[in-house]
Amino acid sequence: MDSVLPNSLRNAPDARGRFGEFGGRYVAETLMPLILELEAAYEAAKADPAFQTELEYYLKHYVGRPSPLWRAERLSKELGGAKIYFKREELNHTGAHKINNCLGQILLAKRMGKTRIIAETGAGQHGVATATVCALFGLPCTIYMGAVDVERQKPNVFRMKLLGAEVVPVSSGSATLKDAMNDALRDWVANVRDTFYIIGTSAGPHPYPAMVRDFQCVIGNEAREQLMEAEGRLPDIAIACVGGGSNAIGLFHPFLDEETVKLIGVEAAGKGLETHEHAASLNKGRPGVLHGNRTYLLQDEDGQIIEAHSISAGLDYPGIGPEHSWLHDIKRVEYVGVTDAEALAAFRLCTRTEGIIPALESSHAIAHVAKIAGHMDKDQIILLNLSGRGDKDIFAVAQHLGVEL
Amino acid sequence: MSRIAGVFAGLKAEGRAALIPFVEAFDPDRATSLTLLKGMAENGADIIEVGMPFTDPMADGPTIQAAGRRGLLAGATLKGTLALVAEFRADNAHTPIVLMGYLNPICSYGVAAFCQDAAKAGVDGLIIVDLPTEEADLVLPDAGKNGLDVIRLIAPTTTDERLPKVLEGSSGFVYYVSITGITGTRTASAEDLARDIPRIRAATTLPIAVGFGVRTPEQAATVAKFADGAIVASALIETLRRENAEAVLRDVKALSAGVKGARAA
Ligand SMILES: Cc1ncc(COP(=O)(O)O)c(C=O)c1O
């Protein structure tokens, strides 16, 4: 990896876990000592070559890394502009980028002597990835999942159970991802001594946002090298969908200091940014504190959290990782919205032109590419993170297309 | 001397601990909350803790979560909760009110404005669950300026080395979360308390109140033997749900008797 300059955008967070005014550690005192213990353990692991070597071993032989960089020629041609490359995280074992982070965290859990794993999940991708690494290392695992998501992601629920996880449907609040995270935090508070909480995105209290980002940076680091090899230069645009923001920050971070690379994060605009049914915390929210960090949130005038909406369960979260809030405020990354309908159209476009069924989450990024690629020159390059595959979504898509399976 | 310090000084002279019952604001409506506040003060509450409803109360168990949801449905806002306290304060000048809640609604209101308005309404102290000592500089200056006590949580996981840091800038009393867990679940035993309370005493001269899992008069009495206050929340919310406000006041009276008899026995 290349070195980080002193005035680099890659030095955040500071010692208090802050990215500008965002991030921090807003948790109850019961958890605070654990968060500090985790931070110390992670810093030690990060500096330990043996830990890195072990992680690389699993990433290579178990996950199947490096994931390919694919030149999407038919899609590029159809859109009639920039050259589009897919970073194919959907080819990872378990079908999404989530496992990069799960492996990092479970190796850390083992190092810390923890004997039980918990996690929250929205689409079920992080839940499946967590259940998978728990099966691999023989650790018991409990996955919290909103009752609404249990209903709309049945195949993943079954997968988690097959892998030996206990899946706990959460019916409090809006019964989606944020509530699953609340209950996972409650479990952690009650089982502090033996339990490790594998958070699935670059959110939560410090050190999670930085740690998850570090584990996901393998995406951007590989893509950068692969693109240099294929094209001899950096992309003009790097783009990814943002739920909590882990796949996006993993792609963006290695490019943050490259002024020529435009970075675009795509939020779920649900039924439209002008409606109240979306998950666009950066475009439509304001800063607040939830799940241990200060960040942009969807909230009402009284500071109560508003339910998010997206066709894709993985983007259906009223917050966003704190590093994205900072990158938004300093205008290093542009955050745009893509609606349910646009994502569905992109899902079909990608499937039809490339023979790749993308996750509905990733389809949001593809939809924005479909909007901009045609206005770019043929020698310009877009690097898109194809964060996951869409097998899990075929039931939801069929329903929206009015097809009965 | 603050109202809270005054109460603990008086109780020390009496040789007993404080009973601190909890009311979730607007559960199930404003009128009931006001009835409970007034009635609790008349039935043995030494201090009253008022919950400020939040959509995502991550340290609370199912009982307080549900109470908060009912409060929000009944139209609870921070402003409304402060107005409720102000109305109670209009004819009770002696019972301290401590607000318990989460940071986001306070940030949304504006920390400075909130501390000012809370003091004006007659609030005496704040317990902000998701504001650990590491982040407390967000609230301490404004709370101090307005004479509000910032009451800190201490947990079984708080190490001896960490205690002085956690207690830095805290006043009023110390809230000992006697179990590792969420509200209304497990209960700490006499042995647990005999081990834990002296550890905290060694680090502070502030009174120590114990909460999370104190339900019955017997448990309140056990807590009162070791600590300076017993906080009861989920059990009272359940009584309100199952029966009515009158029944809650009956329970408060019984809890108060438990606390009063603790050291005599
Ligand atoms: C395929 C896929 N992409 C993206 C996301 C969104 O998460 P993040 O923003 O953390 O990458 C998810 C979450 O479940 C996902 O499954």
Give the span between the Cα atoms of B148 and B2, in whole angstroms.
8
Give the span between the Cα atoms of B225 and B14, in whole angstroms.
14
Q: Using omega within 30 degrees of 0 as the cis cutoff, is the peptide bond preceding A68 cis?
A: no
Cβ–Cβ of A29/B158 closer than 8 Å? yes
Cβ–Cβ of B58/A291 closer than 8 Å? yes
Q: Is A126 in the pocket of ligand 1 (CB under 6 A)?
A: yes
ipTM of the prediction: 0.95
Distance from CA of B249 to the nearest CA of A (A): 29
Q: Which two tokens stand for residue A20?
A: 């500008």
Give the span between the Cα atoms of A14 and A2, in whole angstroms.
20
Distance from CA of A300 to the nearest CA of B (A): 9
Give the span between the Cα atoms of A385 and A369, in whole angstroms.
11
Q: Is A123 in the pocket of ligand 1 (CB under 6 A)?
A: yes
Q: Which two tokens stand for residue B187?
A: 């209960």
DSSP letter (8 states) at residue B17: P
Residues β-bridged to residue A168:
A144
Give me the DSSP letters along B170-187.
Answer: --S-EEEE-SSS-TTS--
Q: Is A363 in the pocket of ligand 1 (CB under 6 A)?
A: no
Give the span between the Cα atoms of A218 and B61, in whole angstroms.
38
Angle between helices A49-58 and A98-111 (to 10 degrees): 140
Evaluate whether B80 touches B88 at the Cβ level (below 8 Å).
no
Name the residue type at position B179.
I
Which of A163, A188, A52 minimizes the C-alpha distance to A107?
A52
Radius of gyration of chain A (CA): 19
Mark out chain B residues that contact chain A at CB-CB < 8 A: 54-59, 61-62, 65, 69, 72, 77-79, 102-109, 129-135, 152-159, 162, 166, 177, 180-182, 185
Evaluate whether A364 touches A371 at the Cβ level (below 8 Å).
no
Q: To which residue do tokens 């200056």 refer?
A: B141
Give the span between the Cα atoms of A144 and B216, in whole angstroms.
32
Give me the DSSP letters along B109-169.
Answer: H-HHHHHHHHHHHT--EEEETT--GGGGGGTHHHHHHTT-EEPEEE-TT--TTTHHHHHTT
Q: Which two tokens stand for residue A255?
A: 């490019």
Q: Identify the pLDDT of residue A1.
A: 47
Q: Which two tokens stand for residue B243?
A: 């029966």
Nearest to B155 among A29, A186, A297 (CB): A29
Active-site choice (B24, B27, B60, B251): B60
Contacts of A172 in chain B (CB under 8 A): 62, 65
Give the span between the Cα atoms of B235 and B215, in whole angstroms.
5
Evaluate whether B51 touches B68 at the Cβ level (below 8 Å).
yes
Q: Is A310 in the pocket of ligand 1 (CB under 6 A)?
A: no
Instruction: Tell me the pLDDT tens digit for each residue of B200-248.
Output: 999 999 999 999 889 999 999 999 999 999 999 999 999 999 999 999 9
Residues β-bridged to residue A84:
A382
Name the residue of A86, A295, A312 whose CB sits within 8 Å of the most ligand 1 atoms, as the mutation to test its pocket: A312
User: Which parts of chain A register pLDDT below 50?
Assistant: 1
Q: Which residues of B207-221 are buried (b: 16+ CB within 10 A; e: fewer)?
A: bbbbbbbbbebebbb
Give the span between the Cα atoms of A107 and A113, in whole angstroms.
10
Cβ–Cβ of A291/B156 closer than 8 Å? no
Name the residue of A67, A87, A93, A98 whose CB sits within 8 Å of the most ligand 1 atoms, as the mutation to test its pocket: A98
Q: Is A242 in the pocket of ligand 1 (CB under 6 A)?
A: yes
Q: To which residue do tokens 């007659």 refer?
A: B122
Contacts of B58 in chain A (CB under 8 A): 28, 182, 185-186, 291
Cβ–Cβ of B153/A173 closer than 8 Å? no
Q: Which two tokens stand for residue A129?
A: 């990835």
How far away, in angstroms, is A37 Cα from ligand 1 center?
A: 27
Which of B19, B16, B49 minimizes the C-alpha distance to B230?
B19
Cβ–Cβ of B77/A299 closer than 8 Å? no
Name the residue type at position A35.
I
Mean pLDDT by 10 residues, chain B (265 residues): 95 97 98 98 98 95 94 98 98 98 98 98 98 97 98 94 94 93 82 94 97 93 97 97 98 98 73
Give the span between the Cα atoms of A201 and A206, in whole angstroms.
12
Whether B60 is catalytic is yes
Name the residue of A92, A201, A356 whose CB sits within 8 Å of the most ligand 1 atoms, as the mutation to test its pocket: A201
Contacts of B182 in chain A (CB under 8 A): 186, 189-190
Give the span between the Cα atoms of B156 and B162, in whole angstroms.
11
Q: Is A177 in the pocket of ligand 1 (CB under 6 A)?
A: no
Q: Which two tokens stand for residue B160?
A: 């001896």
How far, rounded to the nearest angstrom, does the alpha carbon of residue A8 sit from its chain's CA centroid?
23
Give the span between the Cα atoms of A313 and A30, in whole angstroms.
30
Q: Is A265 in the pocket of ligand 1 (CB under 6 A)?
A: no
Cβ–Cβ of A182/B56 closer than 8 Å? yes
- In this prediction the pTM is 0.96
Q: Identify the pLDDT of residue A175.
A: 87
Which of B64, B36, B54, B20 minimizes the C-alpha distance to B174?
B20
> Strand pairing of A83-88 and A381-386?
parallel
